[in-house]
Structure 1
Amino acid sequence: MATKKKAAKKTAVKKKKPVILIVNDDGITAPGIRNLVEAVRDLGKVVVVAPDKPQSGMGHAITIGHPLRLHKVDPFNGIEAYACTGTPVDCVKLAVDKVLHSKPDICISGINHGANHSINVIYSGTMSAAVEAAIENIPSAGFSLLDHSIDADFSGAKVYARKVVELMLSTKLEKHTVLNVNIPVLPASHIKGIKLCKQAYAKYEEDFIERTDPNGRHYYWLTGEFVNFDKSKDTDVWALNNGYVSVVPVQFDLTNYSLKEKLEKLW
């Protein structure tokens, strides 16, 4: 009898659903996060903690000058969800410490409205949330669709976000894993597949448009043109331009090891 009870306990442990934390930077009411929840809601116990307003371009900012608030909400048909007054990184920190009281199996961020390939990863609140999770030893991924429109078609993105999450859950990932996943604006049937890539050297050649408000005061509006300086065929930009979902493993260790070795010899 004791042996049977032990076997039953082992079976229960094996069948325990993984905990999936979902965050974003576009806000808890954005279509992208709703589509991400729909894509993975049956793959585990899903918990959502997301900003109560858009936080795009916040990077790895945290809130230190005023209190943070969490409000329980129900925009996802029964999925446990909270709106947070802070940044995407704040959402991850609060989720682990005050909502889950433990670390989830994985953290996924998005689906972002707009690209986070190449240099965009530096500025992205979507990716910073994923990086924060990895700092906390939680394998993570950030998902972005190359369409800023509020009416964007997320059907292809949902299919491939689910594929990536299934792969993450079935693979023994290193605890600091961070994946930057970008998805082209194509129907799922037209996407050629998933391609593991490096980050392209591409950035915006920026400019500030200067204008004058009705009171005669100057103000500036950031604009720019995206320029790809990397023409190799193993980058995220190339993959996306050629109909693939790009997956770039990134890291929060910013050490330039080759330069370190050179300077050790010179200095």
Structure 2
Amino acid sequence: MENIKKPLILVTNDDGITAPGIRMLIEIAKELGEVVVVAPDSPQSAMGHAITINNTLHVKEFMAHNHDHKEYTTSGTPVDCVKMASHEILDRKPDLCLSGINHGSNSAINVIYSGTMSAAVEAGIEGIPAIGFSLCDYDHDADFNAARPYVKTIIENVIKNGMARGVVFNVNIPKAKREDIKGVKICRQANAYWVEEFDKRTNPYGKDYYWLTGKFVNDDKGEDTDEWALAHNYISIVPTQYDLTAHHYISELNTWDFDN
């Protein structure tokens, strides 16, 4: 029988290589392909698409729980991990990049700040199909098992069908028991946002410092959004792109007079 080459799957995250979410994602990925892990050596949440340019980057092999795949840590951001994997660590281009499973939601506007999704987007920029997974539970001991069969099915679909170049999946999973998850919905990003405040305090030496606080506001009443899906115990998939051009506004701008 002819040997079928398994897809090479790069796994990364922003919570750090020891986080429970990435350990679960690695287990699932190993059922579907050849896995290499490149993840931050410490938590890098809310780093967005930051890259390291003013400091040195360090990479070292990480002792995995077993020896059937390779794992590496970097001192950099999630995006650095993808860049290092693609250009220094791997000897061929990954067939798929999986990022997560994040501890906490990356729906709506959160996708902009997310290190998890920025790693997936970076893979997309490099022409690698990519999925970012997030569970809407910030607890370090969150239960990822409820979503396990859905995560596997989503990955299998991408391996089977491929992805449009420049598009990555933003997958968010509700905090719910397995029997309460209703299925998967393809969604758009909700028009929701943070109303932010800074909690100003003073340390014992009289120096002021600040904690960012705020509340999440969803004014989007559409039933086709990721926020609606999650509120109704569906797993949301938002096809996401890195092209931030407001294409609908170009024709309007062309009526302006920039030559006067």
What TM-score, normalized by structure 1, do the two folds share? 0.93
2:82 to 92, 98, 104: 92
Displacement, 1:147? 0.6
CA-to-partner distance for each residue in 1:60-110, whole Å, 9 max, x for gaps? 000111211111112342221001111000000010111113211110100
Q: Gapped runs of 5+ residues in structure 1?
A: 1-7
User: 1:44 corresponds to which residue?
Assistant: 33
2: distance between equivalents of 1:214 and 1:75?
A: 43
Displacement, 1:162? 1.0
What TM-score, normalized by structure 2, do the two folds share? 0.96
1: distance between equivalents of 2:157 and 2:149?
A: 13
RMSD of aligned alpha carbons: 1.1
- Paired AA for residue 90 in structure 1: D
Q: Following superposition of structure 1 onto structure 2, how do residues 14-163 of structure 1 map, counting pairs within 5 Å? A: 15-78=4-67, 79-163=69-153
Q: Decide whether the 8 Å contact of 1:34 with 1:76 is kept in 2.
A: no
Q: Decide whether the 8 Å contact of 1:29 with 1:75 is kept in 2.
A: no
Displacement, 1:250? 0.6
User: 1:189 corresponds to which residue?
Assistant: 179
Q: Decide whether the 8 Å contact of 1:118 with 1:236 is kept in 2.
A: yes
Q: Does 2:239 match 1:249?
A: yes
1: distance between equivalents of 2:247 and 2:165?
A: 21
Q: Which one is further off, 110-119 or 159-168?
A: 159-168
CA-to-partner distance for each residue in 1:101-152, whole Å, 9 max, x for gaps? 3211110100000000000000000000000000000010100000111110
Q: Does 2:227 match 1:237?
A: yes
1: distance between equivalents of 2:101 and 2:218?
A: 24
Residue 173 of structure 1 aligns to a residue whose secondary structure is: coil
1: distance between equivalents of 2:193 and 2:211?
A: 18
User: 1:180 corresponds to which residue?
Assistant: 170
Higher helix share: 1
Q: Which one is further off, 199-208 or 69-78?
A: 69-78
Displacement, 1:173? 1.9
Q: Decide whether the 8 Å contact of 2:10 with 2:94 is kept in 1.
A: yes
Q: Which runs of 4+ in 1 moved over 6 A?
A: none
2: distance between equivalents of 1:98 and 1:188?
A: 39
